[in-house]
A and B are shown apart, each in its own frame.
Chain A
């Protein structure tokens, strides 16, 4: 009897789930349509330009990958995005953890601070960092007045400046998804680890980190991908030796009018980014558990 029952029940449940899924897709149609019209079509046009301008062929890709400058800029872009992601993780994980365990009153306040910075104009924030970090800026002046240093530190117009500025801007994009994941972790798992004799370090490494991994992965990927395409902050806080791809693409589009090459650069960046996303989906299963579900 039980076998007969289950053989009836399973298809029924499956049918129900399927119809819910199709309903979901129908509801998504407006968004999909918007994305196709406003994103996919222009992207495809851009790609076509990269193989059609100035003459049909692969010459834009050949120029892009054959030129030391462009290769260097590609390398810079991934290097800077990597460094920013790493530092954002190092700062963001404790922040998210604190947000998850603090009493609500305090965590609300912290959230407000975090979101307030996110809602402030990007350009204004970047200029603020410029003023803070420059040689005659607040940070250098205070350090020199305290006698910590006698020469101003080079904090801006170099990799340090870009990393500081971008980490600050990216922080909410890591903390928010990570916080959701951490909140969903049952605190009793940590208590259980402690009861079983795990040290703090062991329960962090063996319990908390693995459980938080989906949140870490999706947050880090978001930060990394956003950093790859960043323009304003590197342009203002970075020197030229770490010029990033977005700056070069902007120059090609707006001032050199070389849309073929710009399209090729944008396409290569897109492919690499999608590749990274695929890797993450394959090995870490982002999306399934990113917003607090387990």
Chain B
């Protein structure tokens, strides 16, 4: 014991010094939870680290986001997450269920009005785009969602997002000729009827990595993808292309779970993460669009070109409010149709 003591003290001292060096006087701290992978790495690098350096508030990373866990935390009163990156429809629904803290709107400046509400502010926004494998597709490149349903011109498997979520029903309706302005409320029967025409050719993807694998290998010749994923494939040299026509946009939102023990620090973090500067850096790295309207002036023209908001003329907003209200009934129909 005696012999061990000095070593332990020295170790403790060392640990203390290294902590001090990394973050001077970290009195406060908070936990930021997101979806993991390259997106969360970019959030850590471009939001959390500079925020800690400027404010002295340590930001610990956790993840992936899990709505079940989120709900359990708030219900049990044992909330260990302070800022959480969630999908748009969950943000609306959680607000309705009383799972979220209200946000201090005076601290949030320059946010695109589409991506801010009483309890949530945008994290970044992305598009579902039409992606295709250039080797598997012959003739003119597919452009509109109707091409996804054209088995004659573009034969082969098509890959779509597996779960009941905004996106697939919308693109089926658009392909069937429903104008973008008349999408909501969704005509679910019509959407399923359209999807029936390609059902035997659908391979479902459950996550971003799988969608990339399916397309890059040519297993699927065409499909719907998160734009950042196609972006990454192109950077890696895979023979894939994408069409921004009728791209379907949705935002991830940042929220503070009800009962967070570091509300003030969390609010400061939100203000920083959604600032023009932090949003610009994140967008440059990931290809996802900033939610701050001033961010583009802080980005290089080349980086701006890859963002979903370059294609706002052909952009269609997924209605998260509609989905938050109808998610359960749609889910029932969705799984009934899928398992048929």
Contact = CB atoms under 8 A, between A and B. Distances in A.
Interface of A: 67-69, 72-73, 76, 127, 130-131, 134-137, 157, 235-236, 239-241, 243, 248, 251, 253-259
A248 to B, nearest CB: 7
Contacts of B328: 256, 258
A146 to B, nearest CB: 20
A256 B331 contact: yes
A282 to B, nearest CB: 34
Interface stretch (B16-24, B65-73, B113-121): B65-73
A265 to B, nearest CB: 12
Interface stretch (B26-34, B39-47, B177-185, B210-218): B210-218
Contact of A251 (B66, B164, B213, B340): B164
Interface residues of B, number: 30
A258 B93 CA distance: 13
A248 B90 CA distance: 18
Given A72-B339, A134-B217, A256-B164, 16 more contacts: A69-B339, A73-B335, A73-B339, A76-B339, A134-B219, A135-B157, A137-B219, A235-B162, A241-B338, A241-B340, A243-B335, A251-B331, A255-B67, A255-B165, A256-B331, A259-B71
A131 B217 contact: yes
B189 to A, nearest CB: 16
A253 B164 contact: no
Contact of B339 (A127, A243, A259): A243
Interface in B205-252: 206, 210, 213-214, 217-219
B152 interface: no
B68 A69 contact: no
Contact of B219 (A135, A239, A255): A135
8 contacts: A69-B335, A134-B214, A137-B219, A240-B204, A241-B338, A248-B335, A251-B164, A256-B164
B116 to A, nearest CB: 24
A69 B164 contact: no
Interface in B317-340: 327-328, 331-332, 335-336, 338-340
A243 B67 contact: no
B162 A257 contact: no
A236 B336 contact: no
A183 to B, nearest CB: 41
A157 B338 CA distance: 13
Closest 7 A/B residue pairs (Cβ): A240-B338, A69-B336, A253-B68, A134-B219, A254-B68, A136-B218, A243-B339
A130 B332 contact: no
A20 B201 CA distance: 63
A249 to B, nearest CB: 10
Contact of A157 (B203, B218, B340): B203
A68 B68 contact: no
B163 interface: yes
B164 to A, nearest CB: 7
Interface of B: 66-68, 71, 90, 93, 97, 157, 162-165, 203-204, 206, 210, 213-214, 217-219, 327-328, 331-332, 335-336, 338-340
B82 to A, nearest CB: 20
Contacts of A254: 66-68
B217 A235 contact: no
Nearest to B72: A259
A257 B217 contact: no
A241 B93 CA distance: 29
A25 B169 CA distance: 57
Contacts of A73: 335, 339
B191 to A, nearest CB: 16
Nearest to B336: A69
A68 B214 CA distance: 31
Contact of B163 (A68, A72, A241, A255): A255
A134 B164 CA distance: 25
B206 A235 contact: yes
Nearest to A76: B339
Nearest to B133: A136
- Most chain A CB inside 10 Å of its own CB: which residue of B210, B327, B335: B335
A127 B218 CA distance: 16
B291 to A, nearest CB: 23
Contacts of A157: 203-204
Nearest to A258: B328
Contacts of B163: 251, 255
- Most chain B CB inside 10 Å of its own CB: which residue of A67, A248, A256: A256
Nearest to A135: B219
A255 B217 CA distance: 30
B102 to A, nearest CB: 21
Contacts of A69: 332, 335-336, 339
A115 to B, nearest CB: 28
Nearest to B218: A136
B339 A241 contact: yes
Contacts of B338: 240-241, 243
A236 B206 contact: yes
A68 B213 CA distance: 33
B336 A136 contact: no
